[in-house]
Structure 1
Amino acid sequence: MVKYEIGTCYGCRKCMYCGYDLNTEVCKCDKTIKPKLSNRTKVVPHSFSRNFELNMLLCKKTFIQERNTLYLYNSNFKKRFIFTFCSTCNSQFQRISNKTKAITKEKPTNSNDESIVSSVIIDVDKIVSSQDMCSISSENESVDQHDEISFTLIVKKVDGKQLPGKWLTFDASTFKKFVTQIQKYIETMIGEEIDQAEYSLAFKSAKSNGGGLELSELKDFEKFLIEYKKLFKMKKEVVVIASMNRKIVKKKKRKQVEDEILESDEEENNLKKKKVNSIPKVSGLTPHQKVIGKLVSELREQWHCSQDNVPCYVASGIHLKLTAKLLAMWAESIMDGTATIEIAPTHPDFAVQHATKNNVHSSATLMASQMSQMYPIQPIQYISPQYCMVREPLAPVSNFSVTSQLPIPSIEEFLKKIDKDEGDNGDFMQFIDVFNEQNISVKHIKDLDENDFQILGVKTIGWRKTIKAAAKRYE
């Protein structure tokens, strides 16, 4: 039993101070105080005080008695008492009226066909009430037979945004079936499995304002069914709102996860390659190592071979790929003064020591013979070939140029020789016509700059360097 308190609505158990529905919620308001104009709140701005009278219209008395039975107020209808209505219940109460009619019946009193007219008052309210009860029971039977209900399910996220609604129709014979079906559809809409504790349910009419009534237990569900029947008869749509208590994180599809894993692996492999191929930082290098590194870079640029796409030393009859070891050795020789950017060291690894010695030997012999002819009476001026290697090959033996004694070939012979040295691919003979048109001879090549080579069509840096290096032999 629930003792009725004057601060609540007799018709719907609504708190007349905070507006809470006491069927589903509990408030801390003092409901023993009668609502007045002085103590009303903005939430419930209107309240209506009513008296239960013994001589009250039967239809209104019935209305109050039904609410007493519904909410178990245990009110005493044998004496007068005061109660309170909210705006909605008061309007409903005001519209109730007795439907009574005086029906006159004639009853024959004697055999002389004389009749005495007597008035019989028939209480139509009781008839209507009984008819209403019959119709309600028939409706209940209809609902019991057809337990399917239709409504719109809306999922509201924590930030207040709503997912698109979904129209549902399913079995609602029990509260357990109802919440199970609801949870299944919520999981489908948000794309992940959840517990019932992670959301709360409420229901309302589609066109009504406010958050609706809570739908969390069996009593709420019974109220929901009653309201659903009313709205269904009025052809109004019912909305069930599922408010999430935490953020929704949609699970990624399997294909999306696999793609992300592959992408991550690819990035990791690229990072490893970059680490392997990366040049070490020069912050910890000594000054000597820094100079060596700079010289190696210059050697790579000077001796880049377009044929192999790597640095190569190209000389007469020699085409040697310059490895990192050879480049470092060459740079060390430059630091020692035994080589230059254009002239390779005489180290055996470069396969040029023997050829260089032969060139020096033959040059020395030629010089000796010339000097003997110039000074026949002074044979002491003759220098034996074996003594010509006292100096390093890079230092000039005399004031005479070694390569100046070589005959200067024609431009065609010059380009043919370079082609032969470079693998006989015809890379250099393709420029013969342009060189002839511009009247370029071998002795002019040393003076050609980048723009001149562009005009001649020699756009590859390696080819330019090869042509210039070959022309230096005839300077």
Structure 2
Amino acid sequence: MHQYVVKLTGDKEIMHSDYLVSYKPEKVGGVETQLIDAQDYKKFLLDYKKLLDKKKNIVILVSLKKKKQKRKEISDSEESNDEEVSVHKRKNAVPKVDDFSAILQQEGLIIHELREQYKCNQHGASCFVDDERHIKLTAMHFQCWAKEIIRGTTDNTQVPNLPIFSRSNSVKEKPKVSTPMVSNSDHNTAPIFFAFPSQMIQSFAQNPTTSSLPNNVLSFSRQQPVPSLDEFFDELSSKNGELLRFKSTFEDEQITVDQICDLTDAEFDQLGINKIGWRKAFRAAAQRYHQ
């Protein structure tokens, strides 16, 4: 903003205190909003984005103060008069169109380079990444960034110190963690692994019979015949008698013993088995018959 005022006035020594800046939407009546402090500029950026989204223009008014404050003492009154005349001429000077064209061309070139530099394949847009946080860059971001680069306050590797570039507007990306594929048929059981000593493996290779394996492994490997519901509930009721009342429910739903381990918590709820201890008891008793 200040750079445009310098171009308009032709006075490279002009300061912010020498003029007032205000704005309002184009073709809208009412009083202009003055830009005085950082909060005003923050509101200006928000209003500008809203108007830009609606494809409307905004009018920025620059009012020079009547008398420019002197920045050094001049003892000679004649020099003071010459300075006032010079300032008056500069205030009424009309800027050249070529100057604005060059600035706009420079902004456009910088914006194009920034868009190419900060393409984000992850979001399919432009992002500035800072400590794994992605700040999505809009047209307003690029325009503000290009202006600050022209002013010399930043470069193409560091975003300007403006509220629009705040980290609060960024998104922290979570690291992608590969999850193992688990069968949906039985998500309540875990795979079981056995470690055999090398001597046992060698002995088994020489004599591939079941006699060299421990008895507990043989008993585990042999599939036990699936009992009937009557036999299953008789054995189960010896440990927990209150579970016997669900026998008729299993018979009505035609559930076999080897299917009990495949039942989900939701299906147990439908059967009326809504206590965790009951579910664990059923699954533990049916585990040995599960294929």
Shorter chain as denominator, the TM-score bin is under 0.3
Higher relative contact order (CA 8 A, sep 6+): 2
Q: Which has the higher helix share?
A: 2
With normalisation by structure 2, the TM-score equals: 0.27
TM-score (norm: length of structure 1) = 0.17
Larger radius of gyration: 1
